[in-house]
Amino acid sequence: MTAELGTVITAMATPFTDDLKLDLERMVELTNRLIDMGSDGLLVTGTTGESPTLENEEKVALWKTVLKAARGRVPVMLGTGTYNTEQSIALTKMAEEVGGDAILLVTPYYNKPPQNALYEHFKAVATSTTLPVMIYNVPGRTGRNIDPDTVIRLANDVPNIVALKEAGGNIDQVSEICRRVPSDFSVYSGDDSLTLPMLSLGAKGIVSVASHLIAGQIRDMITNFSKGNWEVAKDIHLKYFPIFKGLFFTTSPAPLKSSLRLVGFPVGGLRPPLLDLTEQEEEYLREVLTEVELL
């Protein structure tokens, strides 16, 4: 199976009202903003969207909202992964029912399954749906790395597992995966700061947080790289490197939500156990945004 998921896929923040309820109207506005800025794919209820604090009914409401707003313009991927295989299957079936274009499955977190269990988990969820599946490796958050051998097995054995979001921060691992996956399997960077290095190894694009602020610039970087304009791509990367790192100087998505407020597009606060930035932290972020000419 092949799937067109985009090259700059924004992992969307979830807007909340002052009492931390879903702000679906703002979600529509955010959808339009991201597409207008240059995102050619969207991810709803990923971990940037604070998915562990969302009830299933809230996830479905967000999915329906974004799918309606984005339909016909960009593909919409829905995050359905949890640390519970059966719950992930149930959410995935809901995602297919509402008309999602693809699903994202994060590595089961906290319980640290061994590699054979990870394989069986991803296979079980993927075979419960006809939708294309992107698996998401982020060991810094989940406590478990998806080893290259496991990625290769899944890419070869499960036809609708078509992509990997790789956020392990290990370029050697990226090289090994890109070297061995089938030609129709897509690797995406899961770290904004590693997009350009990963493109040089064969990655297709980025599942991005920074694209809330600079989707067009990231898209220009990827386009210039693909056309062989490597110096231009490098200059874009270096210019925006401070924001690539600044959005993760403390636990995401706190810096993202503060950044959106600072640039004039607030999307509310964070659900506990996450907290808003302190005044000192926000001042640091203001300096970063000023440095890259976003303020």
For 212-252, the pLDDT digits (tens) are 999 999 999 999 999 999 999 999 999 999 999 999 999 99
* pLDDT tens-digit map of 48-106: 999 999 999 999 999 999 999 999 899 999 999 999 999 999 999 999 999 999 999 99
Tokens for 194, please give them: 């590693």
**Residue 145 pLDDT > 80, yes or no?**
yes
- Residue 2: per-residue pLDDT: 66
Class of domain 8-229: alpha beta
- Please identify every residue annotated as catalytic: 136, 165
**Residue 167 and residue 203: Cα distance in Å, rounded?**
12
pLDDT score for 3? 72
Complete DSSP assignment for 220-289:
HHHHHHHTT-HHHHHHHHHHHHHHHHHTTSSSTTHHHHHHHHHTT-------TTS-PPPHHHHHHHHHHH
Alpha-carbon span 34 to 40, nearest angstrom: 9
pLDDT at site 267: 98
**Radius of gyration of the chain from its Cα atoms, rounded to whole angstroms:** 18
The conformation of residue 153, written as its DSSP 8-state character, comes to H
Residue 70, helix vs strand vs coil: helix
Q: Comparing C-alpha atoms, which of 167, 35, 57 is closest to residue 104?
A: 167
Share of the chain above pLDDT 90, in %: 98
Q: Where are the domains of the chain?
A: 8-229
The reported pTM is: 0.96
pLDDT tens string 150-190? 999 999 999 999 999 999 999 999 999 999 999 999 999 99
pLDDT value of residue 18: 97
Amino acid in the structure at residue 271: R
- Which is more confident, 111 or 14? 14
Residue 138 has pLDDT above 80, yes or no: yes
pLDDT averaged over the chain?
Answer: 97
